[in-house]
Amino acid sequence: MPIYQATASAPVNIACIKYWGKRDTKLILPTNSSLSVTLDQDHLRSTTTSRADPSFEKDRLWLNGVEEEIKDGGRLATCISEMKRMRREVERQDPSLPKLSSYGVHICSRNNFPTAAGLASSASGFAALVSSLAALYSLPASPSELSLIARQGSGSACRSLFGGFVAWEMGSKPDGSDSLAVEVAPREHWPDIHALICVVSDDKKGTSSTSGMQRTVETSTLLEHRIRHVVPARMKAISEAIRARDFDAFARITMQDSNQFHAVALDTDPPIFYMNDVSRAIIAIIVEYNRVSVANGGKLKAAYTFDAGPNAVIYAPKENLKEIIELIVHYFPQAEPFKDPFGLFGTVGVKDAIIDGFNAAVAKPFGVGAVKGLIHTRVGDGPRVLSEEEALLGANGLPK
Ligand code: DP6
């Protein structure tokens, strides 16, 4: 009896133009287009193994070692049944193929970053799930076609089907068939874009993206203005900035759009606050860092962006990362030595340094643990199909 199994990994993405609001909550159709940078899977990824077998009585899924319920009509069930539907179509066209679409599947998924880090894992998770099933079922589907299915798992997941710089076009059809991800530029176009993720300590349970954005749609008048008059022009302008490798424009738009996303969260009734004092201090530091550069006749050197939580992601050209890390460590001393994947600091480690002309009073220094971790990464590639050695399911079809 042959074994039908495939393993794939998929990246995290962090939006520059934020998705916030659905016009259809079941199909997950957004109220505006969005655009993100895919981060490098060498540092952050979800890996998923899928196996189909006629002896499996039902579909089962394990996430980071714990079995999750696949609820009828839920997001997981929708993605799995959509993938089986695509396989059925392939089997119909070539009746000699094994009828994998009628078998149960076992799916085992793992993130290489702790869920407690507060990084969105649903995007990489659903992208890896869809990619591994596409490999298992040998589907002739393009990344954009697969993005239609990942989107129904979690909206932002559709953008993790591509590497580089990715747009999610909102589309206009009621069935969602034109609401999909497209590549704006591959990572090779602008590999110089690096990212520093500042993992900010957070003890309160925040509002989830799903429920928060729904409340914004129902109560915010500012959202209407954003959707109609702001995002369409920004999508165009940031795509042009990416094509021209114009970091100054890219940074300006990214920061403006993060600010406006948090403004519509505040405009929600009752209001939603995702950023905290640490987040705001990071904004002040980046604003001052850019001010010094512009005052000296230069351009913007870094851009901050925040999702539905207090963590900051700082995008910058590689050459600026050393200064940025030193600045952040000055205000937010680290308990652990900085993991230096690009070898910026040699054996001496990060020194506590502030650049010339920087007004240190823009933020107060915080204690150890306010920023509990720093992850330095860069723009990365799209989902990868992995070899049998990397499978997460053992010979018995259960997690290893
Ligand atoms: C702030 O994709 O997590 O990160 O579609 O309900 O699963 P659901 O929401 P999700 O929302 C992400 C919101 C965001 C902005 C973004 O990634 O564009």
Structure tokens given for 307 = 């999702």
Is the pLDDT at 120 greater than 80, yes or no? no
Q: Which atom of ligand 1 is nearest to the CA of 123?
A: 2
**Number of H helices and number of E strands within the chain?**
9, 16
Instruction: Enumerate long-range contacts of 179-184, CB under 8 Å, 24 or more apart.
Output: 179/27, 179/29, 179/30, 179/148, 179/151, 180/144, 180/145, 180/147, 180/148, 180/151, 181/143, 181/144, 181/147, 181/151, 182/144, 183/143, 184/35, 184/239, 184/242, 184/243
Domain 4-189+385-390 has CATH 3.30.230.10: yes
CA of 153 to the centre of ligand 1 (A): 11
179 lines ligand 1 (CB under 6 A): no
Question: Which stretches does DSSP call E strand in 307-397?
Answer: 312-317, 371-378, 384-386
Residue whose Cα lies nearest atom 5 of ligand 1: it is 155
For the segment 295-345, what is each residue's pLDDT rounded down to a tens digit?
999 999 999 999 999 999 999 999 999 999 999 999 999 999 999 999 999
17 lines ligand 1 (CB under 6 A): no
The answer, yes or no, to whether the previous bond of 270 is cis (omega within 30 of 0) is yes
Write out the residue limits of the CATH 3.30.70.890 domain(s) in the chain: 193-378
Which residues lie closer than 8 Å to 331 by C-beta, 6 or more apart?
Answer: 281, 285, 363, 364, 365, 366
pTM higher than the cut 0.90: yes
pLDDT of residue 118: 66
**Pairwise CA distance, residues 378 & 282, whole Å:** 19
124 lines ligand 1 (CB under 6 A): no
- Residue appearing with tokens 């680290």: 334
**Pairwise CA distance, residues 87 & 130, whole Å:** 12
pLDDT of residue 204: 74
- Residue appearing with tokens 């997001």: 75
Q: Which atom of ligand 1 is nearest to the CA of 28?
A: 5
**What topology is assigned to 193-378 in CATH?**
Alpha-Beta Plaits (3.30.70)
212 lines ligand 1 (CB under 6 A): no
The rounded mean pLDDT for the chain is 96
**Pairwise CA distance, residues 28 & 125, whole Å:** 16
pLDDT of residue 119: 75
CA of 94 to the centre of ligand 1 (A): 38
For the segment 157-203, what is each residue's pLDDT rounded down to a tens digit?
999 999 999 999 999 999 999 999 999 999 999 999 999 999 998 77
**Nearest Cα to 250, choosing from 308, 300, 292, 321?**
300
Write out the residue limits of the CATH 3.30.230.10 domain(s) in the chain: 4-189+385-390
Candidate from 13, 17, 18, 19 with most ligand 1 atoms within 8 A of CB, to mutate: 19
CA of 31 to the centre of ligand 1 (A): 12
Structure tokens given for 208 = 């989830």
Q: What is the DSSP letter of 246?
A: -
Residue whose Cα lies nearest atom 6 of ligand 1: it is 210
Q: Which atom of ligand 1 is nearest to the CA of 120?
A: 3
Q: Count other C-beta atoms under 10 Å from residue 48's C-beta.
A: 31
Lowest mean pLDDT among 36-40, 43-47, 119-123, 251-255: 119-123
Sheet holding 66-68, edge to edge: 66-68, 60-63, 104-111, 45-53, 4-11, 384-386
Structure tokens given for 173 = 């059809």
For the segment 72-93, what is each residue's pLDDT rounded down to a tens digit?
999 999 999 999 999 999 999 9
9 lines ligand 1 (CB under 6 A): no
Mean pLDDT of 107-136: 89
**Pairwise CA distance, residues 294 & 56, whole Å:** 62
Longest dimension (CA), the chain: 72
pLDDT of residue 117: 63
- Residue appearing with tokens 């099933």: 133
Mean pLDDT of 378-382: 98
**Pairwise CA distance, residues 292 & 165, whole Å:** 28
290 lines ligand 1 (CB under 6 A): no
